[in-house]
Protein backbone atom coordinates (compact mmCIF):
# COMPACT_ATOMS: atom_id res chain seq x y z
CA UNK A 1 0.00 0.00 0.00
CA UNK A 2 1.22 3.49 -0.84
CA UNK A 3 1.81 6.08 1.92
CA UNK A 4 2.12 9.87 1.68
CA UNK A 5 4.33 12.21 3.72
CA UNK A 6 3.89 15.98 3.42
CA UNK A 7 6.14 18.83 4.44
CA UNK A 8 4.45 21.78 6.17
CA UNK A 9 6.12 25.07 5.18
CA UNK A 10 5.34 26.25 1.63
CA UNK A 11 3.36 23.03 1.03
CA UNK A 12 0.46 23.16 3.53
CA UNK A 13 1.10 26.70 4.77
CA UNK A 14 2.80 29.64 3.13
CA UNK A 15 4.88 31.74 5.49
CA UNK A 16 6.66 35.07 5.36
CA UNK A 17 8.94 36.23 8.17
CA UNK A 18 8.98 39.73 6.67
CA UNK A 19 5.34 40.19 7.70
CA UNK A 20 6.23 39.74 11.37
CA UNK A 21 9.58 41.49 11.33
CA UNK A 22 8.22 44.61 9.65
CA UNK A 23 5.86 44.99 12.59
CA UNK A 24 8.83 45.41 14.95
CA UNK A 25 11.51 46.85 12.66
CA UNK A 26 11.62 50.06 14.72
CA UNK A 27 12.46 47.96 17.79
CA UNK A 28 15.34 45.91 16.44
CA UNK A 29 18.89 47.05 15.85
CA UNK A 30 19.40 45.43 12.43
CA UNK A 31 17.51 45.40 9.17
CA UNK A 32 14.69 42.96 8.43
CA UNK A 33 16.74 41.67 5.51
CA UNK A 34 19.65 40.84 7.82
CA UNK A 35 17.44 38.75 10.09
CA UNK A 36 15.89 36.89 7.15
CA UNK A 37 19.36 36.16 5.78
CA UNK A 38 20.42 34.79 9.16
CA UNK A 39 17.34 32.59 9.29
CA UNK A 40 17.64 31.10 5.81
CA UNK A 41 21.33 31.22 4.95
CA UNK A 42 22.94 30.77 8.34
CA UNK A 43 20.32 28.55 10.04
CA UNK A 44 19.86 30.94 12.95
CA UNK A 45 16.81 29.00 14.23
CA UNK A 46 18.17 25.50 13.60
CA UNK A 47 18.75 24.65 17.28
CA UNK A 48 15.23 25.84 18.04
CA UNK A 49 13.79 23.60 15.31
CA UNK A 50 15.77 20.68 16.73
CA UNK A 51 14.26 21.26 20.16
CA UNK A 52 17.65 22.05 21.67
CA UNK A 53 16.50 25.50 22.80
CA UNK A 54 13.38 26.34 24.76
CA UNK A 55 11.16 29.16 23.45
CA UNK A 56 12.48 31.41 26.24
CA UNK A 57 16.11 30.61 25.37
CA UNK A 58 15.49 31.28 21.70
CA UNK A 59 13.87 34.61 22.57
CA UNK A 60 16.97 35.59 24.54
CA UNK A 61 19.16 34.56 21.61
CA UNK A 62 17.04 36.60 19.20
CA UNK A 63 16.98 39.63 21.49
CA UNK A 64 20.75 39.57 22.02
CA UNK A 65 21.69 38.91 18.38
CA UNK A 66 19.37 41.49 16.83
CA UNK A 67 19.36 44.09 19.61
CA UNK A 68 15.63 43.78 20.14
CA UNK A 69 13.51 45.56 22.76
CA UNK A 70 10.43 43.38 22.13
CA UNK A 71 9.01 41.63 25.22
CA UNK A 72 8.72 37.85 25.32
CA UNK A 73 4.91 37.87 25.01
CA UNK A 74 5.12 40.21 22.02
CA UNK A 75 7.81 38.07 20.46
CA UNK A 76 5.75 34.85 20.75
CA UNK A 77 2.86 36.46 18.88
CA UNK A 78 4.95 38.20 16.24
CA UNK A 79 7.26 35.25 15.63
CA UNK A 80 4.33 32.90 15.04
CA UNK A 81 1.85 35.02 13.08
CA UNK A 82 3.46 34.48 9.69
CA UNK A 83 1.44 31.61 8.18
CA UNK A 84 -1.30 31.38 5.55
CA UNK A 85 -3.01 28.04 4.85
CA UNK A 86 -2.86 26.72 1.29
CA UNK A 87 -6.52 25.78 0.96
CA UNK A 88 -6.22 23.89 -2.32
CA UNK A 89 -3.53 21.56 -0.95
CA UNK A 90 -5.43 21.05 2.30
CA UNK A 91 -8.61 20.15 0.40
CA UNK A 92 -6.61 17.70 -1.71
CA UNK A 93 -5.30 16.06 1.47
CA UNK A 94 -8.88 15.80 2.77
CA UNK A 95 -9.77 13.83 -0.36
CA UNK A 96 -6.69 11.62 -0.12
CA UNK A 97 -7.32 10.77 3.52
CA UNK A 98 -9.92 7.99 3.08
CA UNK A 99 -7.62 6.01 0.78
CA UNK A 100 -4.03 6.67 1.87
CA UNK A 101 -2.11 6.78 5.17
CA UNK A 102 -0.92 10.37 5.62
CA UNK A 103 1.99 11.77 7.62
CA UNK A 104 3.29 15.25 8.29
CA UNK A 105 7.08 15.49 8.47
CA UNK A 106 8.29 18.98 9.27
CA UNK A 107 11.27 20.98 10.46
CA UNK A 108 9.37 23.19 12.86
CA UNK A 109 9.89 24.83 16.24
CA UNK A 110 7.65 24.57 19.29
CA UNK A 111 6.16 28.07 19.04
CA UNK A 112 5.21 27.72 15.38
CA UNK A 113 3.61 24.31 15.83
CA UNK A 114 1.63 25.26 18.93
CA UNK A 115 0.41 28.43 17.22
CA UNK A 116 -0.67 26.57 14.07
CA UNK A 117 -2.25 23.73 16.01
CA UNK A 118 -4.38 26.18 17.98
CA UNK A 119 -5.59 27.95 14.85
CA UNK A 120 -5.78 25.01 12.44
CA UNK A 121 -6.30 21.90 14.53
CA UNK A 122 -8.53 20.44 11.80
CA UNK A 123 -5.60 20.42 9.36
CA UNK A 124 -3.34 18.41 11.67
CA UNK A 125 -6.22 16.02 12.38
CA UNK A 126 -6.05 14.93 8.73
CA UNK A 127 -2.76 13.13 9.34
CA UNK A 128 -2.26 9.70 10.88
CA UNK A 129 0.93 10.83 12.59
CA UNK A 130 2.94 14.03 12.97
CA UNK A 131 6.74 13.85 12.80
CA UNK A 132 7.97 17.16 14.20
CA UNK A 133 11.64 18.03 14.36
CA UNK A 134 11.53 19.83 17.70
CA UNK A 135 9.94 16.81 19.39
CA UNK A 136 12.24 14.27 17.76
CA UNK A 137 15.33 16.48 18.14
CA UNK A 138 16.25 15.78 14.55
CA UNK A 139 15.75 17.82 11.39
CA UNK A 140 15.52 16.88 7.73
CA UNK A 141 17.68 15.69 6.03
CA UNK A 142 19.08 13.78 9.02
CA UNK A 143 18.49 10.04 8.77
CA UNK A 144 16.87 9.87 12.22
CA UNK A 145 13.78 11.85 11.19
CA UNK A 146 13.19 9.66 8.13
CA UNK A 147 13.77 6.53 10.20
CA UNK A 148 10.93 7.71 12.45
CA UNK A 149 8.71 7.91 9.37
CA UNK A 150 9.50 4.27 8.58
CA UNK A 151 8.92 3.25 12.19
CA UNK A 152 5.48 4.79 12.56
CA UNK A 153 4.23 3.93 9.07
CA UNK A 154 5.44 0.34 9.04
CA UNK A 155 6.24 0.89 5.36
CA UNK A 156 9.44 0.72 3.37
CA UNK A 157 10.97 3.84 1.87
CA UNK A 158 9.99 2.84 -1.67
CA UNK A 159 6.32 2.73 -0.64
CA UNK A 160 6.29 6.31 0.67
CA UNK A 161 5.74 9.36 -1.53
CA UNK A 162 7.37 12.39 0.09
CA UNK A 163 6.35 15.95 -0.88
CA UNK A 164 8.62 18.90 -0.03
CA UNK A 165 9.29 22.31 -1.58
CA UNK A 166 13.05 22.29 -0.95
CA UNK A 167 15.22 20.74 -3.63
CA UNK A 168 18.09 20.03 -1.23
CA UNK A 169 15.81 17.99 1.04
CA UNK A 170 14.29 16.18 -1.92
CA UNK A 171 17.72 15.17 -3.17
CA UNK A 172 18.79 13.81 0.21
CA UNK A 173 15.52 11.94 0.74
CA UNK A 174 15.79 10.37 -2.72
CA UNK A 175 19.08 8.77 -1.62
CA UNK A 176 17.05 6.74 0.89
CA UNK A 177 14.84 5.47 -1.94
CA UNK A 178 11.84 7.58 -1.00
CA UNK A 179 9.57 8.41 -3.92
CA UNK A 180 10.00 12.20 -3.93
CA UNK A 181 7.91 15.02 -5.38
CA UNK A 182 9.27 18.56 -5.41
CA UNK A 183 6.34 20.87 -4.65
CA UNK A 184 6.11 23.93 -6.85
CA UNK A 185 2.41 24.59 -7.26
CA UNK A 186 -0.91 22.85 -6.80
CA UNK A 187 -1.53 21.80 -10.39
CA UNK A 188 1.97 20.39 -10.72
CA UNK A 189 1.47 18.45 -7.48
CA UNK A 190 -1.67 16.76 -8.82
CA UNK A 191 0.12 15.74 -12.02
CA UNK A 192 3.13 14.39 -10.12
CA UNK A 193 0.92 12.42 -7.73
CA UNK A 194 -0.83 10.83 -10.70
CA UNK A 195 2.53 9.93 -12.26
CA UNK A 196 3.50 8.30 -8.96
CA UNK A 197 0.38 6.12 -8.98
CA UNK A 198 -1.40 8.17 -6.31
CA UNK A 199 -4.95 8.61 -7.61
CA UNK A 200 -6.85 11.46 -6.00
CA UNK A 201 -10.51 10.86 -5.17
CA UNK A 202 -12.77 13.71 -6.28
CA UNK A 203 -14.98 15.49 -3.74
CA UNK A 204 -17.96 13.18 -4.30
CA UNK A 205 -15.73 10.11 -4.42
CA UNK A 206 -14.10 11.02 -1.11
CA UNK A 207 -17.54 11.54 0.41
CA UNK A 208 -18.61 8.12 -0.90
CA UNK A 209 -15.61 6.51 0.80
CA UNK A 210 -16.31 8.36 4.05
CA UNK A 211 -19.95 7.20 3.96
CA UNK A 212 -18.82 3.66 3.25
CA UNK A 213 -16.41 3.73 6.19
CA UNK A 214 -19.18 4.78 8.56
CA UNK A 215 -21.48 2.09 7.20
CA UNK A 216 -18.94 -0.75 7.40
CA UNK A 217 -17.71 0.37 10.82
CA UNK A 218 -21.26 0.19 12.15
CA UNK A 219 -21.42 -3.59 11.49
CA UNK A 220 -19.24 -6.38 12.86
CA UNK A 221 -20.15 -8.79 10.05
CA UNK A 222 -19.87 -7.02 6.70
CA UNK A 223 -19.46 -9.15 3.58
CA UNK A 224 -17.84 -7.81 0.40
CA UNK A 225 -18.86 -9.52 -2.84
CA UNK A 226 -17.10 -9.03 -6.16
CA UNK A 227 -18.96 -9.48 -9.44
CA UNK A 228 -17.58 -9.48 -12.94
CA UNK A 229 -15.90 -11.24 -15.83
CA UNK A 230 -12.18 -10.48 -15.82
CA UNK A 231 -11.97 -11.43 -19.51
CA UNK A 232 -14.17 -8.50 -20.51
CA UNK A 233 -12.11 -5.42 -19.66
CA UNK A 234 -13.80 -3.15 -17.12
CA UNK A 235 -16.47 -5.75 -16.43
CA UNK A 236 -13.94 -7.44 -14.16
CA UNK A 237 -13.68 -4.49 -11.75
CA UNK A 238 -15.66 -6.07 -8.92
CA UNK A 239 -13.84 -9.39 -9.18
CA UNK A 240 -10.46 -7.63 -9.33
CA UNK A 241 -11.15 -5.59 -6.18
CA UNK A 242 -12.05 -8.66 -4.14
CA UNK A 243 -9.08 -10.66 -5.45
CA UNK A 244 -6.78 -7.86 -4.27
CA UNK A 245 -8.38 -7.80 -0.81
CA UNK A 246 -8.65 -11.52 -0.01
CA UNK A 247 -6.73 -12.44 3.15
CA UNK A 248 -5.61 -8.82 3.57
CA UNK A 249 -8.55 -7.22 5.37
CA UNK A 250 -10.64 -8.02 8.44
CA UNK A 251 -13.89 -8.21 6.45
CA UNK A 252 -15.37 -11.32 4.84
CA UNK A 253 -14.93 -11.43 1.06
CA UNK A 254 -16.46 -13.47 -1.73
CA UNK A 255 -15.53 -13.43 -5.41
CA UNK A 256 -18.78 -14.47 -7.13
CA UNK A 257 -17.69 -13.76 -10.71
CA UNK A 258 -20.74 -13.79 -13.00
CA UNK A 259 -22.70 -16.33 -10.95
CA UNK A 260 -23.95 -14.61 -7.80
CA UNK A 261 -27.00 -16.86 -7.73
CA UNK A 262 -24.76 -19.88 -7.11
CA UNK A 263 -23.61 -18.40 -3.78
CA UNK A 264 -26.94 -17.32 -2.29
CA UNK A 265 -27.18 -20.32 0.03
CA UNK A 266 -23.66 -19.79 1.35
CA UNK A 267 -24.31 -16.07 1.86
CA UNK A 268 -27.53 -16.85 3.73
CA UNK A 269 -25.59 -19.17 6.08
CA UNK A 270 -23.12 -16.40 6.84
CA UNK A 271 -26.09 -14.10 7.55
CA UNK A 272 -24.06 -10.85 7.32
CA UNK A 273 -25.57 -7.67 8.67
CA UNK A 274 -24.26 -5.70 5.71
CA UNK A 275 -23.49 -6.81 2.16
CA UNK A 276 -21.57 -4.62 -0.28
CA UNK A 277 -21.55 -5.82 -3.90
CA UNK A 278 -18.90 -4.45 -6.25
CA UNK A 279 -19.73 -4.36 -9.93
CA UNK A 280 -18.88 -2.42 -13.09
CA UNK A 281 -21.64 -0.09 -14.23
CA UNK A 282 -22.62 3.03 -16.13
CA UNK A 283 -24.32 5.78 -14.16
CA UNK A 284 -24.94 9.52 -14.25
CA UNK A 285 -22.26 11.99 -13.19
CA UNK A 286 -18.49 12.00 -13.63
CA UNK A 287 -17.43 10.03 -10.56
CA UNK A 288 -15.33 6.90 -11.11
CA UNK A 289 -17.38 5.07 -8.48
CA UNK A 290 -20.52 5.58 -6.42
CA UNK A 291 -22.76 3.84 -3.88
CA UNK A 292 -26.32 2.76 -4.61
CA UNK A 293 -29.06 0.93 -2.76
CA UNK A 294 -30.96 -2.06 -4.24
CA UNK A 295 -33.84 0.23 -5.20
CA UNK A 296 -31.44 2.24 -7.36
CA UNK A 297 -30.52 -0.66 -9.65
CA UNK A 298 -32.90 0.63 -12.30
CA UNK A 299 -30.93 3.92 -12.33
CA UNK A 300 -27.61 2.27 -13.16
CA UNK A 301 -26.64 0.12 -16.11
CA UNK A 302 -24.83 -2.96 -14.86
CA UNK A 303 -23.23 -5.60 -17.05
CA UNK A 304 -25.85 -7.56 -18.94
CA UNK A 305 -24.61 -10.71 -17.21
CA UNK A 306 -25.30 -9.24 -13.76
CA UNK A 307 -28.23 -6.84 -14.01
CA UNK A 308 -31.19 -9.16 -13.50
CA UNK A 309 -29.34 -11.57 -11.19
CA UNK A 310 -28.17 -8.75 -8.91
CA UNK A 311 -31.70 -7.39 -8.58
CA UNK A 312 -33.17 -10.80 -7.81
CA UNK A 313 -30.31 -11.72 -5.45
CA UNK A 314 -30.72 -8.47 -3.52
CA UNK A 315 -34.45 -9.05 -3.13
CA UNK A 316 -33.88 -12.64 -2.02
CA UNK A 317 -31.22 -11.77 0.54
CA UNK A 318 -33.21 -8.88 1.99
CA UNK A 319 -36.24 -11.14 2.35
CA UNK A 320 -34.31 -14.17 3.61
CA UNK A 321 -31.82 -12.60 6.07
CA UNK A 322 -32.67 -8.88 6.15
CA UNK A 323 -29.15 -7.75 5.28
CA UNK A 324 -28.39 -4.10 4.62
CA UNK A 325 -27.33 -4.20 0.96
CA UNK A 326 -25.32 -1.65 -1.00
CA UNK A 327 -24.15 -1.69 -4.61
CA UNK A 328 -20.68 -0.20 -5.08
CA UNK A 329 -20.65 0.69 -8.76
CA UNK A 330 -17.35 1.23 -10.55
CA UNK A 331 -17.70 3.18 -13.77
CA UNK A 332 -17.10 1.05 -16.85
CA UNK A 333 -15.44 2.52 -19.95
CA UNK A 334 -15.63 -0.64 -22.06
CA UNK A 335 -16.45 -4.33 -21.74
CA UNK A 336 -14.69 -5.67 -24.82
CA UNK A 337 -13.82 -9.36 -24.61
CA UNK A 338 -10.08 -9.92 -24.32
CA UNK A 339 -9.27 -6.23 -23.78
CA UNK A 340 -7.48 -4.99 -20.67
CA UNK A 341 -9.19 -2.84 -18.07
CA UNK A 342 -9.23 0.88 -18.93
CA UNK A 343 -6.92 3.32 -17.17
CA UNK A 344 -9.84 5.14 -15.50
CA UNK A 345 -11.39 1.96 -14.11
CA UNK A 346 -8.00 0.64 -13.00
CA UNK A 347 -7.42 3.88 -11.07
CA UNK A 348 -10.86 3.59 -9.46
CA UNK A 349 -10.11 0.01 -8.39
CA UNK A 350 -6.80 1.03 -6.84
CA UNK A 351 -8.45 3.83 -4.83
CA UNK A 352 -11.08 1.40 -3.52
CA UNK A 353 -8.50 -1.27 -2.71
CA UNK A 354 -6.35 1.28 -0.89
CA UNK A 355 -9.39 2.42 1.06
CA UNK A 356 -10.07 -1.06 2.44
CA UNK A 357 -6.41 -1.85 3.07
CA UNK A 358 -5.99 1.48 4.87
CA UNK A 359 -9.08 1.18 7.04
CA UNK A 360 -9.76 -2.53 7.49
CA UNK A 361 -6.43 -4.35 7.61
CA UNK A 362 -6.68 -7.33 9.96
CA UNK A 363 -4.73 -8.41 13.00
CA UNK A 364 -5.78 -12.01 12.35
CA UNK A 365 -6.79 -13.65 9.07
CA UNK A 366 -9.06 -16.66 8.99
CA UNK A 367 -11.55 -18.45 6.78
CA UNK A 368 -15.21 -18.92 7.68
CA UNK A 369 -17.48 -21.17 5.65
CA UNK A 370 -15.29 -20.91 2.60
CA UNK A 371 -15.32 -17.11 2.63
CA UNK A 372 -12.18 -15.09 3.31
CA UNK A 373 -12.17 -12.87 6.38
CA distance 42 to 105: 22
Segment (H or E) for 241: helix 237-245
CATH class in words for 3-11+84-195: alpha beta
| 298 vs 262, residue with greater confidence | 262
Alpha-carbon dihedral sign for residues 64, 65, 66, 71: negative
Q: Report the percent of the chain where pLDDT is more than 70.
A: 94
The pTM assigned to this predicted structure is 0.90
CA distance 119 to 101: 24
Q: What Å distances lie between residue 313 and 256, 287, 304, 321, CA to CA?
A: 12, 26, 15, 12
Segment (H or E) for 204: helix 203-217
pLDDT (mean) for 351-358: 96
Query: 316-332, pLDDT tens digit by residue?
Result: 888 888 889 999 999 99
309 falls in which pLDDT band (50, 70, 90)? low
Query: 210-266, pLDDT tens digit by residue?
Result: 999 999 999 989 999 999 998 889 999 999 999 999 999 999 999 998 888 888 989
| 262 vs 163, residue with greater confidence | 163
Give ∠ CA 97-100-104 in degrees, rounded to 5.
70
308 falls in which pLDDT band (50, 70, 90)? low
pLDDT (mean) for 279-285: 88
- Going by DSSP bridges, is the β-strand pair 83-85/13-15 parallel, antiparallel, or unpaired? antiparallel
The domains spanning 3-11+84-195 and 203-372 adopt the same CATH topology: yes
pLDDT (mean) for 85-105: 97
pLDDT of amino acid 305: 46
pLDDT of amino acid 110: 97
Judged on CB neighbours under 10 Å (0-12, 13-18, 19+), 49 is buried
What is the architecture of the domain spanning 203-372?
3-Layer(aba) Sandwich (3.40)
| 143 vs 369, residue with greater confidence | 143
Residue 151 has pLDDT above 60, yes or no: yes
Alpha-carbon Rg for the chain, nearest whole angstrom, is: 26
Domain ranges of the chain: 3-11+84-195, 17-81, 203-372
Amino acid sequence: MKHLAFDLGKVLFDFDYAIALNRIKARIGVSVETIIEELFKNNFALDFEKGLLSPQDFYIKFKREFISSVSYDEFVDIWSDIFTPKKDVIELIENLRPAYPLYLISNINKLHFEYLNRKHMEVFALFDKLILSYKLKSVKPETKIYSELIKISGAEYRDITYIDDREDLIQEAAKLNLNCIRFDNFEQLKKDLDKSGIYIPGDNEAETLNQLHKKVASYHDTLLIGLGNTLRGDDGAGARIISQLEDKISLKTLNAGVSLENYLGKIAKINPGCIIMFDAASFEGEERFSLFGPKDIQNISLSLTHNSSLKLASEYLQKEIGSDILIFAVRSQHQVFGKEMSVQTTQACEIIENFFLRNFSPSISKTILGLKT
